Amino acid sequence: MSHPFETLTPDLVLDAVESIGFLSDARVLALNSYENRVYQVGIEDAEPLIAKFYRPQRWTNEAILEEHRFTFELADCEVPVVAPLIHNGESLHEHAGFRFTLFPRRGGRAPEPGNLDQLYRLGQLLGRLHAIGATRPFEHREALGVKNFGHDSLATVLQSGFVPRSLLPAYESVARDLLKRVEDVYAATPHQNIRMHGDCHPGNMMCRDEVFHIVDLDDCRMGPAVQDLWMMLAGDRQECLGQLSELMDGYREFHDFDPRELALIEPLRALRLMHYSAWLARRWDDPAFPRSFPWFGSERYWGDQVLALREQLAALNEEPLKLF
């Protein structure tokens, strides 16, 4: 079975960029990306552009354009974000069966784990993002939930054949116990779904010239605000409490936060763990995945996953983080 990017050659990348009116200097540099394909393309007498080619059949055109509109909305409100370029009145283009978008090149470095000053500023940035995200819902993008990130992920893993037979009963048992606990906490925790980044790990919050900016809203969706916050924390519980305080001090300058949502941190972490394994299984026909994740399917990986899910189940039974 051919993979989605089989025909996406460097020549096709150059042809796509030139098809909408740019003149390339024939330089193409592949950037680190698995879900989509992203390239830096040299442009004659101008700064290079970043060309993002969307994975076929993942998002509808309406969902991609909704991501773009959200990004433009943020940029219009002066939230630092890397927004798509509009060329000839369009932000989404198509060439040889591939949909692609161009972005300005914007470098930077990820925040330092546990840096309290940076966490305060990241809180301000996320508060601004969520203040805009809360004004209206997405219409064409799914919400993060226990079914699609949890139960559907488990079904994918169990049907994939990647879990060694010796570990399959243990993995399925702890995963089902974990999902039951996640469902219980979700049902007991008041929360509001808003438009959010959706994949807000530190690598998507880049700093350049002492200013943080948001990148890669490809996974933006509806979900609880705390989903964009918990991945900013690092270290043990005591360290996380201090970091959370700084993050929230900045966040609350721009947007309200319901502290009851903190009870969702460990459920959301559990869903991300399960979704990651399912994502690898779903993408295994793409040759980039076996090359980059050769350990997937090994006894060691799935043994570690069983342990990680057990630890996560224990974490769900602990007292959630609190604001003081």
Q: Which residues belong to the active site?
A: 199, 216
Count Cβ atoms below 10 Å from residue 253 Cβ, excluding itself: 13
Quote the CA–CA distance of 259 and 314 in Å, as a whole number.
22
CB 119 within 8 A of CB 128: no
Quote the CA–CA distance of 52 and 44 in Å, as a whole number.
19
Count Cβ atoms below 10 Å from residue 176 Cβ, excluding itself: 12
Residue 19's H or E segment, with its range, is helix 10-19
Tokens of 37: 């394909």
Quote the CA–CA distance of 261 and 16 in Å, as a whole number.
44
- Please tell me what DSSP assigns to residue 87: B
204 is annotated as contributing to ligand binding: yes
61 is annotated as contributing to ligand binding: no
CB 160 within 8 A of CB 153: no
Find, among 174, 142, 170, the residue nearest to 273 by Cα. Answer: 174
Which residues are documented as binding site?
204, 216
Which residues are documented as binding site for Mg(2+)?
204, 216
